[in-house]
Chains A and B, each alone.
Chain A
């Protein structure tokens, strides 16, 4: 159904995507709705353009609330005063709920926000598997799929309608027409193998903030790719001057220090692909995050060599994300740009801060490769 508001909505989306009115872009803030996935809170992006006004600085903000609690008790980080700056329909009576979201839904939400193209399955292993899912109820079907509860409910309903139900003697007898069966739908399930290799620089120059950025970005890339491929594998490599493979947990928690030799990680990555993931059967997505402060020029040359001969020909996409750090020189991204300017399967992205994570994911995955 077409709504009167559709043109306004389209215009808003165009502003958010930067197609029109660039001057308004600086007022866009990423608002969010907080959903819940298991124990974790997740946010549903809700871009918002705040019209600038003469208003008070938020520094002294506070407010008045109601409820239990001692002086000094925390009310949480989010602004409890935020009742949405819009006038959400005058006198709108709203009813807040907490919602549970699946990771798949989340990835969907993200995809919708970022306008990512679907990643095409590739490789020989593209077997289309069939999967049956029980989705509804039918009046006919094999007895083994009879839905007892629905059948009895139907019978009860019929008996009440015909007046043959006696609450004092509640015997329900289903007849043939009452029977209900589970029904299923068969959906094709493309099977393709994909592996993500996350590589993180954990040298001394990567601070907590940098790692946090890497963590958030890897999480979302992980979520998005998992929504695209069934049976996705991920491997994790950390490196300083030497590289080693670690499990997921270690990847996100490690606090190392030391020098940086990126080539060590690339060697390990190349070996991993060689040993475990023949490119004819696997979609391979290495993601490397670093602050771009490599040990030596020689090492960088070696990196470029490994990338050129051993990695890039075999992978779908190699993503390099450079996190801005107060210590690093940030030279590596320039080197990569210099050597691989023409290369299609290598994407680099500079991540200036938490706000830039979304843009960076768009850089990486927006190509749909």
Chain B
């Protein structure tokens, strides 16, 4: 990896100066220049120089290389959430491209550092990934590639079964068993009564019944987990009968899943934020007159939306600009919302100048779901010509099905919630009192893809080593899918 040539170091310092002037707050950035092959390697590794050995990185690499070689796409920039941040520039890009990328990257780094959802991520992940790689390699040397890789494959099937809010939950220490026992010997609850009324209000039969109830409560087999658990990976780490090396692998997969989760949670906001700042810095400060055409050309490429496509850069930056304008002009709050006069709305300007402050607040506290939920307004939707589309079964084509604001917003939020993945919980680790695992899909109107669900169950069975069950809904009927280690079966349950 080549270190940055002096003229680019100068540019980096210059742009960092502009960015600080605007109030961006970022870590030190280490830029490196890579040739396109190396760039694709790093991109395939998710931005890191080293990852554990796995074929899917090779697949990603092939895809990136092919689309680069045949000219379909080109990776301009990459940056990883780490302190100091590492970012890569593509060798041979023109100077104006490099400037734009540097400015864009600073936007991301500011976001990584300040957005709340990143606050629990490992800021030394570059070392973390290298450690993971060493650990996996060691297991592979000892046990053989196939064995370890197959287990990784199984873990990857459930990689998405995490609870993104989990790092923010303060966990209770495991319930104290002593305390439990004390509770069972506690006094029977009595209904308050004057002493002469007591034997009528709390008659012996009633007290007996209370005592039995408490005993039943105590003897009832304790369910594990007590509440349905969304962090399936953690549950398996704590409860599945795994070998030490398997525990290690599963832990690595979970670590990485949680590390990448905030990036998936804030794709629109993060890209929008970076695009907002590169365009601000470039157009107001960094561009030379001779560079404007090239800049505009490339910027247009980044923000382009083909019909039917959803470009997170584009919607992110437009929404941030909209927020800035609204808060500058005071177009928020009750008075604005209740104003029905189109004319008044069009010329509404209270000259508050709160826009910049507001978007900094947004970058600190919001993720994509809350961002869209709060700021994607009907006005914005109409002005930017959003539509929703769906598959027309008859023609096999995707068609625009609506331009109604409510529908569009609902669809957008649906696709962002839980990354558009179904909600799956661990319901019981001792299903049927036979040590089987019971998973439940919280059905919210969309069915699972059955063949994938079956294969995922197989992977779960590999980890749980006992039969695994999945409770879901297919075509409006409750169904239980089961994998017993050898065979799949399913049965319908009456609702």
A contact set with B: CB distance below 8 Å: 1, 3-5, 7-13, 15, 20-21, 24, 27, 31, 33, 35, 44, 46, 48-49, 51-77, 79-81, 83-84, 86-97, 99, 101
Q: A10 CA to B54 CA in the complex, in Å?
A: 10
Which residues on the B side are within 8 Å of A91 (C-beta)? 47, 77-79, 108, 263, 270-271, 274
Interface residues of B in 361-388 (CB under 8 A from A): 384-388
B307 within 8 A of A: yes
Q: A8-B54, A89-B43, A95-B302 are in contact. Are A71 and B403 (CB under 8 A)?
A: yes
New contact pairs (4) apart from A9-B58, A12-B56, A62-B391, CB-CB < 8 Å? A9-B61, A65-B388, A67-B387, A71-B403
Q: A72-B400, A89-B42 are in contact. Are A97 and B73 (CB under 8 A)?
A: yes
Q: A5 CA to B46 CA in the complex, in Å?
A: 12
**Given A52, A56, A79, which contacts B420 in the complex, CB threshold below 8 Å?**
A56
**Pairs A-B, 3 closest by C-beta atoms:** A89-B43, A62-B390, A8-B58
Listed residue (A11, A66, A88) with the most chain B CB atoms within 10 angstroms of its CB? A66
B301 within 8 A of A: yes
B453 adjacent to A54 (CB under 8 Å): yes
B441 adjacent to A54 (CB under 8 Å): yes
Interface residues of B in 38-68 (CB under 8 A from A): 38, 41-47, 49-50, 53-64, 66-67
B75 within 8 A of A: yes
A51 adjacent to B41 (CB under 8 Å): no
A77 adjacent to B62 (CB under 8 Å): no
B44 adjacent to A89 (CB under 8 Å): yes
| Smallest Cβ-Cβ distance to B451: which chain A residue | A52
Which residues on the A side are within 8 Å of B459 (C-beta)? 52
| Smallest Cβ-Cβ distance to A3: which chain B residue | B41
Q: A3-B37, A10-B58, A66-B387 are in contact. Are A90 and B309 (CB under 8 A)?
A: no
CB distance from B452 to the nearest CB of A (A): 4
B446 within 8 A of A: yes
B160 adjacent to A53 (CB under 8 Å): yes
A63 adjacent to B310 (CB under 8 Å): yes
A62 adjacent to B388 (CB under 8 Å): yes
Q: A66-B314, A67-B385 are in contact. Are A87 and B400 (CB under 8 A)?
A: no
A57 adjacent to B448 (CB under 8 Å): yes
Which residues on the B side are within 8 Å of A66 (C-beta)? 305, 309-311, 314-315, 384-387
B291 within 8 A of A: no
**Given A59, A65, A90, which contacts B260 in the complex, CB threshold below 8 Å?**
A90
9 residue pairs bridging A and B, Cβ less than 8 Å apart: A4-B41, A8-B55, A21-B149, A46-B66, A53-B456, A57-B450, A74-B395, A93-B75, A95-B73
Q: A20 CA to B459 CA in the complex, in Å?
A: 18
Which residues on the A side are within 8 Å of B391 (C-beta)? 59, 61-62
Q: Per-residue 0/1 for B452-479: is the Cβ within 8 Å of any A Cβ (1 yes, 0 no)? A: 1111100100000000000000000000
A99 adjacent to B72 (CB under 8 Å): yes
B337 within 8 A of A: no
Which residues on the A side are within 8 Å of B359 (C-beta)? none
Which residues on the A side are within 8 Å of B314 (C-beta)? 66
Q: A20 CA to B302 CA in the complex, in Å?
A: 39
CB distance from A1 to the nearest CB of B (A): 7
Interface residues of B in 424-460 (CB under 8 A from A): 424, 441, 446-456, 459
CB distance from B287 to the nearest CB of A (A): 18
Q: A54-B452, A76-B397 are in contact. Are A93 and B55 (CB under 8 A)?
A: no
B305 adjacent to A67 (CB under 8 Å): yes
Q: A24 CA to B156 CA in the complex, in Å?
A: 13
Q: A364 CA to B12 CA in the complex, in Å?
A: 57
| Smallest Cβ-Cβ distance to B63: which chain A residue | A46
Q: A57 CA to B38 CA in the complex, in Å?
A: 36
Q: A54 CA to B398 CA in the complex, in Å?
A: 24
Q: A7 CA to B41 CA in the complex, in Å?
A: 12
Which residues on the B side are within 8 Å of A79 (C-beta)? 398
| Smallest Cβ-Cβ distance to B396: which chain A residue | A77
B116 within 8 A of A: no
Q: A10-B58, A69-B387 are in contact. Are A95 and B424 (CB under 8 A)?
A: no
B73 adjacent to A94 (CB under 8 Å): yes
A54 adjacent to B456 (CB under 8 Å): yes
B482 within 8 A of A: no
Q: A33-B70, A68-B385, A97-B72 are in contact. Are A3 and B38 (CB under 8 A)?
A: yes
Interface residues of B in 248-275 (CB under 8 A from A): 260, 263-264, 270-271, 274
Q: Per-residue 0/1 for B56-100: is the Cβ within 8 Å of any A Cβ (1 yes, 0 no)? A: 111111111011001111111111110000000000000000000
A89 adjacent to B47 (CB under 8 Å): yes
B119 within 8 A of A: no
Q: A54-B424, A56-B422 are in contact. Are A12 and B59 (CB under 8 A)?
A: yes
**Given A27, A33, A59, A60, which contacts B66 in the complex, CB threshold below 8 Å?**
A33
**Given B50, B73, B274, B448, which contacts A56 in the complex, CB threshold below 8 Å?**
B448
B400 adjacent to A53 (CB under 8 Å): no
B308 adjacent to A76 (CB under 8 Å): yes
| Smallest Cβ-Cβ distance to B87: which chain A residue | A91
B401 adjacent to A54 (CB under 8 Å): no
A64 adjacent to B384 (CB under 8 Å): no
A64 adjacent to B448 (CB under 8 Å): no
